[in-house]
Amino acid sequence: MAELGAGSLLLGDPAFNYQEAELNERLKRLYPAVNEDETPLPRSWSPKDKYSYIGLSQNNLRVHYKGHGKNHKDAASVRATHPIPAACGIYYFEVKIVSKGLDFLSSLLPLSPIPGWDKHSYGYHGDDGHSFCSSGTGQPYGPTFTTGDVIGCCVNLINNTCFYTKNGISLGVAFTDLPPNLYPTVGLQTPGEIVDANFGQQPFVFDIEDYMSEWRAKIHGMIARFPIGERLGEWQAVLQNMVSTYLVHHGYCATATAFARATETLIQEDQTSIKNRQRIQKLVLAGRVGEAIEATQQLYPGLLEHNPNLLFMLKCRQFVEMVNGTDSEVRCFSVRSPKSQDSYPGSPSLSPRHGATNPNLHSAGADSPTCSNGVTPPNKNKSHNKYPGVSSASSSSSSSPSSVNYSESNSTDSTKSQPHSGTSNQEETRCVQTILTTVSALLCEVSKKCQTLVAVCVLVEDSCASRQLCGGNQAATERMIQFGRELQGLNEQLCREYGKNVTHKKMLQDAFSLLAYSDPWNCPVGQQLDPMQRENICSALNSAILESQNLPKQPPLMLALGQATECVQLMARVRSGSCSFARVDNFLH
Amino acid sequence: MACLLEAPLRISVLSEVTATSRHYVDRLFDPDPQKVLQGVIDMKNAVIGNNKQKANLIVLGAVPRLLYLLQQGSSSSELRAECAVVLGSLAMGTENNIKSLVDCHIIPALLQGLLCPDLIFIEACLRCLRTVFISPVTPVQLLYTDPTVIPHLMSLLSRSQRTQEYITQIFSHCCKTPEHQTVLFNHGAIQNIAPLLISPSYKVRMQALKCFSVLAYENTQVSMTLVNVLVDEELLSQVFVRMMQRDQPIDMQLTAAKCLTYMCRAGAIRTDDSCIVLKTLPCLVRMCSKERLLEERVEGAETLAYLMEPDVELQRIASVTDHLVAMLADYFKYPSSVSAITDIKRLDHDLKHAHELRQAAFKLYASLGSNDEDIRKKITETENMMDRIVSGLSESSVKVRLAAVRCLHSLSRSVQQLRTSFHDHAVWKPLMKLLQNAPDEVLVMASSTLCNLLLEFSPSKEPILESGVIELLCSLTQSDSPALRVNGIWALMNMAFQADQKVKGEIVRALGTEQLFRLLSDPDSNVLMKTLGLLRNLLSTRPHIDQVMSSHGKQIMQAVTLILEGEHSIEVKEQTLCILANIADGNTAKELIMTNDDILQKIKYYMAHSNVKLQLAATFCISNLIWNEEDGSQERQDKLRELGFVDILHKLTQASDPNLCDRSDTATHTSDLSPAFLQILSSIDRQTGTNTCTLIVL
C-alpha cells in the first residue's frame, strides 16, 4: 500500500467522493479568485515530482520514507501537483506528523532533497526548529515538532511572506521577499517517518479564514482610503457625471433630468435625442423589432445602412419575435390577446406551459412511435428533437424518412446559398445530422408545403391556448415565412459584399431552428425566445446610435467597472496576491 | 454658591467676559417662558465647540439657573431637554468645567430628571451624566449614593439605543471596586446588558462589552455567571470569540480578549479551552505587534501577562507565538531616534507612552519566564535584555521599577541565569540600591529577588555580603508587612546556609537574640518556618553548634520547648525536631538536651507519633545522642535506656517504614553495625535536612 500505485484515485469510494466534494467546496470558499482552468490548486502530492525514497498512499496525501536515512544524502522530498496560484492571495496547507522523524517541511520551487537547502527553497525543520532559506545553515525560528503535531504553512502572496503554525498557533513570519510559483513540499530523512497532508480535505487546525478576513479588511480599507490627490475637489463632479451619463445612456430620461436638476449638472445630449433612443429601446425590449428598425431608419437615416451587421442582427431578432408573435408585422394579424404579447419578462402569457402542450401533441402525432413511449416531459422533448416538427408536419407518413425527403429537396434547391445543405447532401440521407439544414430546407420548400405547415400551426393553436407560433395566425405565419426568405436573401447579399460571416450564419441557423420544433418555446434553441435575449441587441443598437451622434457608446460607469474587473484579472496574472481580496463583486450589491 | 471659582481665576476670566455672554445668562431670567426657551437654544448654539464661551457662562452663573429650569415642574419638556443639552455641552469642555458642574450638584439633579417619562429629556440627561461620569475628576461614588438609581438605570436600558449606549458607558466607568461589581451584578446587569452585545449599533455593542470586562475583572461570581449566559441562543464566550475576529475593530478585539481573560483567571473558563489557547492568547499577542497603537500594545501586553501568569502551558504557547519575545524588545525603543528628528508631536506622544510600554514589557517578560527554564533563557538572550532590566531598576517611574524587579525576580528562579547573566551584569548593585529606599511593593519584589541571589551557588552572594546587606535584611524582619518579614528572614536563612562562622556570628549579632525570638512567635507561619530554618542553618557543623549554644543555649531550648508544646503545623514541629537533632550533634550542646528531661520526654513522645516525618526527626535526634564514638556515649545510652527509649526503638524496627527501621536499627545495635556506614547514613540525612532550608523563592 505504501507503493506508488496505491495513490491512484478510488473513484468508486463514496466516502472519497464526499471528501472530494468537501474539498472543492472549501477551496472555492478559501480561494474564490482562483481560476482553476488557468492555475489549478494543489490537491495532493505529485507522484511524478518526488524522490524514489518517498512513498505515497491514501490518495497521494500520505507520505512515508523508505530510504536508509543514514545522512543528509538520503533525504528525500515530494512536492504538490501544482504551484500555489497568486490569485489565492493567502494560501495555507497543513501536515500532520503521524510518525516521528520528520525533519522539515516547506514550500519550495525546485525539487531539492531537503526543503530549504537549495536555491529558492524554504523550510522549517522539526529536529531543531530552525528555518532554512535557500541554504544549508538555518536560523533559529520556532519550536521543534514531533509525532502528533500539526504543522501548517501559510504563504501570503500579498506581501510575499510566509509563516508556519504549530497546532493552530502562528509562529510568526519565517521568510520575506518570497519568489512566485512556490510548491507545497515535505522532506523526510528517517525510516518510519509518515506525514499526512491536508490541502483543504479537512478543516484546518489553524483558523486561516480569520487571518484572511484581516487581510480582506486591510485591503478594503486601503481601497477605501486610497488618496485621491489633486483632483479631490472634482471627485464629486466625476461621480455625478458617471451617474448622469449612465442614466442618459440607458435613456432614463426623466430620472436623468431630475438628477441633473438636483446636482446642477448639464446633460450633453438633448432631450429629444434621449427620448428617441428611449422609444427605440422600448420597442426592442417589447419585441417589436420591426417598428424599432423603422423608427431607427426614420430618426437616424443612414445608421443601419452603415452598420449592416447590426441590421442583420436586428432582422434576425425580428424573425425570432415573429415566431414569438410579438413583432408588429405578425401582431397586426393576430386577434388574440395582443396586449399580453407585448409584455416583457414575467408576464403570465409568456410563461411556458409544458404540461398543457405535450399531451395535445401526442394526439396530433399519434402514429409517431417515439411519442408513445415518452412518459416524462423531458423524454418527450427529446423525442421531438429527433423528429422535429417535420414529422408531425407531414400529413402522410410520420416516420423519419419523411424528413429526409425534405432534406433532399432542400439540397437541390439551395445548394448555392447553403453550404451546410451541401454537406448534408454528401452524407447518407438516412440520418439527419443537422436539424438546421432540415429547417432551411423547410423554408425553401415552404411554398409547396405551406399547407402542411399551416396544419401544424392550427394544431398547435388548438392545443395551446397561451402560446402559438406567430400568435397562431395563418396570415402571420405566411408573412413570417416570407420574412425568413428575405432574411436569407440579406445574408446572401452580405456574404457577397463582405465575405462569409460565421456569426451571421450561426445566428440565422439558430433563428430558423425554432421552426423545427413543434413547441419552439420548449426546445434546445428555445432560449432565443426569452425576452431577456432582447437586451443585448437593444444595447448594441443604443450604442450604435450614440456612436453615430459622437457620444460614447458605453457609459463611463460601465467602462470603469469593466476596467476594474479586467485589472483584477490582470493582477492575478502578474502574481499580485491582493487581487483575491479586491474583487469587484465585493463592492457590487 | 458652590460653583463659584477661586477668586483670582475668576477675575482673570471675568476680564474676558464679553457683554454677549452676560446677555445669554440674562435671557434665562426672562419672565416669558417662550423667550427663555429661545435663550437656551441660542446659548446651546453659542457654546458648541467654544471652550472659552463655556467657561464664561459657568463663571456668570448659568449653571444653577439652568439646573433650576431643568428641575422646575412648570418648565415645558422642550425647555427642560434643551437645558440638559446645554449642560451636556458645558460638560464637554475642560476638567474645570466638570468640577464646577459637579460642585453645583448637577448629578443628583440629572438623576432626578431620569424619572421623567419624556425620552428626549432622558436621553439629554443621560448624555450629560455620561460626559460627567467618564471624567476622572468626578467621584464615581456619586452614582451609588442613592440606591434607587442603579435599578432605574437598568430599567431605562430598554428605552432606546442612546440610553443603552450612555448607561453602559456610565457603568463601565463607574465600576471600580468589587463592591461596585456586586451592586451592578445584584441589579441584573448581566441579564440586562448581555442582549446589547448583538445590538445593531457598534457603539452600544462596544460599551456593553466594556461593561462586561470591568464586571468580570477578578470577580468569580460574575465570571461564573457569564459563562452560562446565552445571547440569541449562543454562548457568551462564543460571542466574545466572534468579536475577536481579525476583521473587527481593534478596540473590540482587545476588549473581548480582556473579557475572556478575566473569565479565565476567575476560573470560569479552563486555561486549555480552545477559546483561550487558539483565540484569546493569539489575539492578545497580535495586540503587542508593531502595527498596533502604543496604547493598544500596552493594554495587550498587560492583559496577556495577566492571562498566562498562573499557567505554564500558556506561557510556553505564548513564547512561540508570532515571535512574541523578540516583538517585546521593540517596546524599549521609544522614543525612537527617528521620531525625535521628524516629528515633534510624535516625539511627545512616544515620550508619554515610553514608561508605560517599558513596564508592560517587563510585566509580560516576568509572566512568560515565571516557570519555564527554556523561556527564561530565551528572554535573557534577547538583545540587551539584562542591560534593560538593570537600567529599568533605577528608572524614575515607580511602575517601571516595580515591573523591572518583577521581571528580574522571575528570571532569578533560574539556577543557570543566577550563575551567568545575573553575575555578568552585576544586577545585585542596582537591586541593593533599590532596597535602600523604595515603596513596600517594590521592596517585596526586590527582597524576594535578593533571596535568590543569596543562594549558596549564586556567585553574587559574596559581593552582596560585602555590601552590608545583613543590616538591611535585619531591618526588613522588623517590618509591619508579613511579606517583607518573610523575605528578610528567608534571605538571612539562605545566607546562613553553609556559611562560615564570621557570617553566622554577624547575622546573630545584627539580628539580636531578642528579635530572633520575637520572630519565633510571629503570627505568620511562613515567618516562623523561615526563622527555624535560619536557626537550623546556624546550628550546623559541630563547632558552630557548640558556639551558638554556649551563648544562646538557654533561650533556644526555651523557644524549642514552646514550639513543641504549641499548636503548630507538622512542618513547623518537624523543623523544630531537626533543630534538636542538630543540637544533639554538638559536643557540649548535647548536654543541654541530656539534662533536660522535659525535652527528652517530648522527643520520646514524637518517636511514637503517628506522623512518620516527626518520628523520623525525633529518632534522628536520639541517634545523634547515642553516637558511640564520642565521649560519654555509654552514659547517655544508659540514661536513655532507663527512660524507655530502647523499647520504642524495638517497636519501631517492626514498623513498616523502611527508612525508620534503618534508623532504629542504628540506635539499638550501634555496636554491631559498621561505624563508617552509620556515619554516612547520618551525614546524608543531615545533609538533606539542611538542604530543605535553602529554597528558591517561588
pLDDT of residue A521: 79
pLDDT at residue A539 tops 90: no
Mean pLDDT throughout B584-591?
A: 78
Q: Which residues in chain B have Cβ-Cβ distances shorter than 8 Å to A171?
A: 320-323
Mean pLDDT throughout B253-271?
A: 96
pLDDT at residue B53 tops 60: yes
Task: Indicate yes or no: CB of B320 within 8 angstroms of CB of A168.
Answer: no
Give the count of beta carbons closer than 10 Å to the beta carbon of residue A168.
Answer: 18
pLDDT of residue A40: 92
Closest CA to B604 of B644, B641, B568, B572: B644
Interface of A with B in 365-394 (CB under 8 A): none
A77-113: per-residue pLDDT in tens? 888 899 888 889 899 999 998 887 544 444 443 344 4
Check if the beta carbon of residue B365 is closer than 8 Å to that of residue B303: no
**Which of B276, B278, B287 is the best substitution to test chain A (most A C-beta atoms within 10 A)?**
B278
pLDDT of residue B264: 96
Q: Which residues in chain A have Cβ-Cβ distances shorter than 8 Å to B327?
A: 172
Higher pLDDT, B113 or B421: B113
CB proximity A241 to B under 8 Å = no
Task: Say how many CB pairs under 8 Å bridge A and B.
Answer: 39
- Comparing CB atoms, the residue among B247, B279, B321 nearest residue A170 is B321
Interface of A with B in 172-191 (CB under 8 A): 172-173
A472-485: per-residue pLDDT in tens? 677 778 888 888 88
| Nearest CA distance, A24 vs chain B (angstrom) | 25
> pLDDT band at residue B509, thresholds of 50, 70 and 90?
confident
Please give the share of chain B, as a percent, with pLDDT higher than 90.
43
pLDDT at residue B539 tops 60: yes
- Spatial distance between the Cα atoms of A158 and B421, rounded to a whole number of angstroms: 42
Task: Indicate yes or no: CB of B278 within 8 angstroms of CB of A216.
Answer: no
Task: Indicate yes or no: CB of B322 within 8 angstroms of CB of A171.
Answer: yes
Check if the beta carbon of residue A164 is closer than 8 Å to that of residue A171: yes
Chain-wide mean pLDDT for chain B?
84
3-state SS of chain A: helix, strand, coil percent to 5? 55, 15, 35
Task: Indicate yes or no: CB of B247 within 8 angstroms of CB of A166.
Answer: no
Task: Indicate yes or no: CB of B320 within 8 angstroms of CB of A210.
Answer: no
Chain-wide mean pLDDT for chain A?
71
pLDDT of residue A496: 84
pLDDT at residue A115 tops 70: no
B477-502: per-residue pLDDT in tens? 888 888 889 888 888 888 888 888 88
The answer, yes or no, to whether ipTM is higher than 0.85 is: no
Task: Indicate yes or no: CB of A170 within 8 angstroms of CB of B278.
Answer: no
pLDDT at residue B141 tops 90: yes
> What residues contact residue A199 under an 8 Å CB cut-off, 6+ apart?
A23, A27, A41, A42, A43, A44, A61, A80, A93, A184
pLDDT of residue A249: 84
B303-324: per-residue pLDDT in tens? 999 999 999 999 999 999 999 9
CB proximity A213 to B under 8 Å = yes
> pLDDT band at residue A347, thresholds of 50, 70 and 90?
very low
For chain B, the residues whose C-beta falls within 8 A of a C-beta of chain A are 245-247, 277-279, 281-282, 317, 320-324, 327
What are the CB-based long-range contacts (under 8 Å, 24+) for B590-598? B590/B624, B590/B625, B590/B636, B592/B549, B592/B553, B592/B557, B593/B621, B593/B625, B594/B625, B594/B636, B594/B639, B596/B557, B598/B561
What are the CB-based long-range contacts (under 8 Å, 24+) for A7-16? A7/A44, A7/A45, A7/A47, A7/A56, A7/A57, A7/A58, A7/A59, A7/A60, A9/A59, A10/A59, A16/A59
pLDDT of residue B620: 79
pLDDT of residue A568: 81
pLDDT at residue B256 tops 90: yes
Mean pLDDT throughout B176-198?
A: 95
Mean pLDDT throughout B542-556?
A: 80
CA closest to A221 among chain B residues: B247
B623-678: per-residue pLDDT in tens? 777 766 667 777 777 777 777 777 777 666 665 555 655 555 555 443 333 333 34
pLDDT at residue B13 tops 70: no
> pLDDT band at residue A13, thresholds of 50, 70 and 90?
low
CB proximity A143 to B under 8 Å = yes
> What residues contact residue B183 under an 8 Å CB cut-off, 6+ apart?
B144, B150
pLDDT at residue A456 tops 60: no
Task: Indicate yes or no: CB of B317 within 8 angstroms of CB of A169.
Answer: yes
Least confident of A554-563, B52-61, B138-147, B246-255: A554-563
CB proximity A51 to B under 8 Å = no
B359-376: per-residue pLDDT in tens? 999 999 999 999 999 999
Interface of A with B in 298-357 (CB under 8 A): none
> pLDDT band at residue A460, thresholds of 50, 70 and 90?
very low
Handedness of CA B610, B612, B613, B616 (dihedral sign): positive
pLDDT of residue A185: 87
Give me B34's grid cell.
417662550
| Nearest CA distance, A129 vs chain B (angstrom) | 11
Check if the beta carbon of residue A253 is closer than 8 Å to that of residue A228: no
Task: Indicate yes or no: CB of B317 within 8 angstroms of CB of A172.
Answer: no
pLDDT at residue A352 tops 50: no
> pLDDT band at residue A332, thresholds of 50, 70 and 90?
low
Q: Which residues in chain B have Cβ-Cβ distances shorter than 8 Å to A166?
A: 320
Task: Indicate yes or no: CB of A216 within 8 angstroms of CB of B247.
Answer: yes
Task: Indicate yes or no: CB of B322 within 8 angstroms of CB of A166.
Answer: no
pLDDT of residue B360: 95
pLDDT of residue A11: 42
Task: Indicate yes or no: CB of B320 within 8 angstroms of CB of A142.
Answer: yes
Higher pLDDT, A332 or B592: B592
Task: Indicate yes or no: CB of A217 within 8 angstroms of CB of B246.
Answer: yes
Task: Indicate yes or no: CB of B278 within 8 angstroms of CB of A207.
Answer: yes
| Nearest CA distance, B349 vs chain A (angstrom) | 24
| Nearest CA distance, A572 vs chain B (angstrom) | 23
pLDDT of residue B342: 66
CB proximity A210 to B under 8 Å = yes
pLDDT at residue B683 tops 70: no
CA closest to A164 among chain B residues: B322
Higher pLDDT, B296 or B413: B296
CA closest to A213 among chain B residues: B247
Task: Indicate yes or no: CB of B320 within 8 angstroms of CB of A169.
Answer: yes
Q: Which residues in chain B have Cβ-Cβ distances shorter than 8 Å to A143?
A: 320
- Comparing CB atoms, the residue among A143, A210, A213 nearest residue B320 is A143
B116-127: per-residue pLDDT in tens? 999 999 999 999
Task: Indicate yes or no: CB of B246 within 8 angstroms of CB of A169.
Answer: no
Is the model's pTM score more than 0.80? no
- Comparing CB atoms, the residue among B246, B279, B320 nearest residue A214 is B246
